[in-house]
């Protein structure tokens, strides 16, 4: 039998000719710092007239009872809305909005004194569509980035609002860019090819280095590179059918209740981790990672009953013991921790301990488990632009507070976005991910589900999953739709017989696209001994068969998203 040489070249190629057409590319950039001068309008303003105010008052009008003036300071021209009596008193521009278009919006804002939240709103067909918000500051410019769709085509009017009527609203560098659904999909395709896939070149040569033609290749994706999973409860331990259904599909999970304080310490001082331990052992055995959820929950409705009877000192000691116990027990075994769940919306521990309670609990978690990623975990940051409590700007503010923690090294923070949608505003979702992604921190969609009529639920669910998977800053997705005999939270993927529901069919459809279910690719080497194809990141098994030489070989390889490796091919040579 001849000796053959196998060369595997993972080529980090971003050639996307099929996506590079006349479509306007999407600008994923965002700025989270407050700058001395605003940047230029994205997309040159898109459909906004006079976006950088170079032409003074052209196309800009007062809204409500505000007085507006146009200023030029240091060659920077902008418009000011002053003498505001109502939140909506500001500056506006009329636009035409089309149904079926996806609009991405941006503007640079400043206030004349202190800090104030400012929102961008579109009035159209009797509705008010909130596109996004930012905490504007005095003496520097902040970027607001958002997005919207409309239900009917027709005239619209952009304006800005702030509940703080004492401040002037300064506006510059405004952009509104429409995209067709086809263009939006092309952005996703382009990002996936760049961030989630690699081009692999395999070459087969003989012992003399000569190419071997028509060698048969079979490549099977053994494991997805992108973490994708579903939440579970303890009932999975008792059902082999559920276990088989789950482990065929997912690479990561979250325990819905079993690690939470109200489950592990029902009686004060009597901790019981037996169920969580058993679940963790099961998923380790099957190669499924587990997210830690959660150390404490800031919602007063979800506390273990005995906590409220404690004195201040007893309460503090109980919290410290809880953090120490659960963080130490699972140290090094989890895919990060949700530390203080939903601490932008709720403040149970702040009221019981101090205004810095969440900060101090993160600090405790860092002390007991310094290597894990500690996540803020919140809802409505992606789902609802009207929710000011958990806006991207408020999320950034909390991240800045926690970033200062230095205990046994700098704290490693992560961005957890629950993603409990109703009717998804996909352009706003993307823009919010852009803003949070500008921090450089890992983003996970942690509890994805959709509460919507059955005829559109699966459609909306697919939209959210595709957008999350395609975004370059998202590092993992967990859906919140595990089966429970007592009923799922908002949606199920499967029925009690573990037959897919329409939402489960969406999961399977996407897994087939992303290389799940041990997807196989087959082919033959060409006249130069090469075989080339594009693959999603992940773990692969390769089999080579050349009948004329009676030669067979097997090999395993891994494709990862590694920007540092993008300029040089990875080469593996084996003399067989």
Instruction: Tell me the catalytic residues.
Output: 342, 447
Q: For residue 25, what is the enclosing H or E element? A: none
By the 8 A CB rule, do 455 and 483 touch?
Answer: no
Q: For residue 244, what is the enclosing H or E element? A: helix 240-247
DSSP string, 279-297: HHHHHHHTT-EEEEEEEEE
Give CA–CA dist 389/189, Å, rounded.
33
By the 8 A CB rule, do 527 and 215 touch?
Answer: no
| Nearest Cα to Cα of residue 110 among 75, 147, 82, 146 | 82
SS3 52: coil
By the 8 A CB rule, do 222 and 518 touch?
Answer: yes
Give CA–CA dist 481/450, Å, rounded.
9
Give CA–CA dist 364/100, Å, rounded.
49
Q: Where are the alpha helices (DSSP H) in 93-217?
A: 181-195
498 bridge partner residues: none
User: Phi and psi for 198 in degrees, rounded to 5?
Assistant: -140, 150
Give CA–CA dist 504/502, Å, rounded.
5
For 64, residues 6+ apart whose C-beta sits below 8 A from its C-beta are: 84, 85, 86, 88, 89, 90, 159
User: Phi and psi for 281 in degrees, rounded to 5?
Assistant: -60, -40
Q: For residue 564, what is the enclosing H or E element? A: none
Count of helices and strands (H, E) across the chain: 11, 27
Give CA–CA dist 390/398, Å, rounded.
10
**CB atoms inside a 10 Å sphere around CB 168:** 21
| Nearest Cα to Cα of residue 68 among 170, 172, 173 | 170
Q: For residue 202, what is the enclosing H or E element? A: strand 197-206
Q: For residue 560, what is the enclosing H or E element? A: none
Phi-psi region of 564 (alpha: psi -120 to 50; beta: other; left: phi over 0): alpha
DSSP state of 319: H
| Nearest Cα to Cα of residue 53 among 146, 175, 138 | 175
By the 8 A CB rule, do 264 and 326 touch?
Answer: yes
DSSP string, 369-394: -TTSPEEEEESSTTT-TT-GGG-HHH
């Amino acid at each position: 039998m001849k000796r053959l040489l196998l060369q595997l070249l993972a080529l980090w190629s971003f050639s996307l000719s099929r996506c590079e057409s006349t479509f306007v590319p999407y600008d994923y950039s965002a700025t989270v710092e407050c700058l001395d001068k605003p940047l230029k309008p994205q997309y040159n303003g898109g459909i906004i007239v006079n976006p950088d105010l170079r032409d003074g008052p052209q196309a800009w009008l007062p809204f409500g009872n505000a007085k507006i003036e146009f200023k030029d300071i240091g060659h920077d021209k902008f418009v000011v809305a002053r003498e505001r009596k109502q939140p909506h008193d500001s500056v506006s521009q009329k636009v035409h909005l089309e149904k079926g278009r996806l609009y991405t919006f941006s503007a640079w804002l400043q206030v004349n004194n202190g800090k104030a939240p400012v929102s961008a709103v579109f009035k159209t067909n009797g509705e008010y569509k909130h596109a996004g918000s930012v905490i504007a500051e005095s003496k520097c410019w902040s970027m607001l980035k958002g997005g919207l769709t409309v239900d009917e085509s027709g005239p619209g009017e952009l304006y800005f609002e702030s509940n703080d009527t004492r401040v002037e609203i300064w506006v510059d560098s405004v952009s509104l860019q429409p995209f067709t659904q086809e263009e939006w999909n092309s952005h996703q395709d382009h990002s996936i090819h760049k961030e989630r896939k690699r081009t692999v070149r395999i070459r087969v040569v003989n012992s003399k280095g000569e190419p071997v033609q028509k060698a048969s290749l079979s490549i099977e994706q053994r494991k997805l590179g992108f973490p994708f999973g579903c939440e579970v409860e303890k009932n999975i331990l008792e059902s082999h059918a559920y276990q088989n259904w789950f482990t065929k599909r997912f690479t990561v999970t979250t325990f819905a209740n079993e690690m939470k304080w109200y489950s592990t310490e029902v009686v004060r001082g009597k901790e019981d981790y037996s169920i969580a331990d058993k679940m963790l052992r099961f998923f380790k055995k099957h190669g499924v990672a587990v997210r830690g959820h959660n150390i404490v929950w800031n919602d007063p409705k979800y506390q273990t009953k005995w906590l409220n009877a404690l004195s201040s000192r007893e309460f503090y000691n109980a919290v410290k013991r809880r953090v120490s116990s659960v963080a130490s027990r699972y140290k090094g075994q989890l895919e990060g921790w949700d530390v203080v769940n939903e601490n932008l919306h709720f403040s149970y521990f702040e009221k019981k301990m101090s205004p810095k309670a969440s900060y101090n609990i993160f600090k405790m978690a860092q002390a007991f488990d310094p290597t894990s990623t500690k996540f803020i975990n919140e809802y409505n940051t992606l789902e609802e632009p009207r929710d000011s409590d958990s806006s991207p700007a408020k999320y950034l503010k909390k991240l800045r507070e926690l970033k200062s923690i230095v205990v046994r090294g700098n704290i490693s923070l992560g961005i957890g976005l629950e993603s409990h949608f109703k009717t998804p505003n996909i352009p706003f979702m993307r823009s919010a991910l852009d803003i949070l992604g500008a921090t450089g921190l890992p983003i996970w969609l942690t509890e994805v589900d959709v509460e919507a009529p059955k005829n559109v639920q699966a459609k909306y669910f697919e939209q959210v999953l595709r957008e999350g998977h395609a975004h370059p800053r998202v590092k993992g997705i967990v859906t919140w739709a595990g089966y429970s005999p007592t009923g799922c939270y908002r949606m199920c993927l499967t029925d009690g017989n573990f037959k897919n529901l329409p939402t489960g069919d969406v999961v399977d459809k996407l897994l087939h696209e992303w290389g799940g279910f041990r997807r196989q690719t087959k082919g033959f080497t060409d006249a130069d001994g090469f075989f080339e194809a594009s693959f999603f990141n992940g773990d692969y098994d390769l089999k080579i068969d050349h009948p004329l030489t009676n030669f067979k070989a097997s090999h395993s390889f891994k494709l990862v998203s590694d920007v540092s490796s993008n300029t040089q091919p990875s080469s593996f040579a084996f003399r067989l």
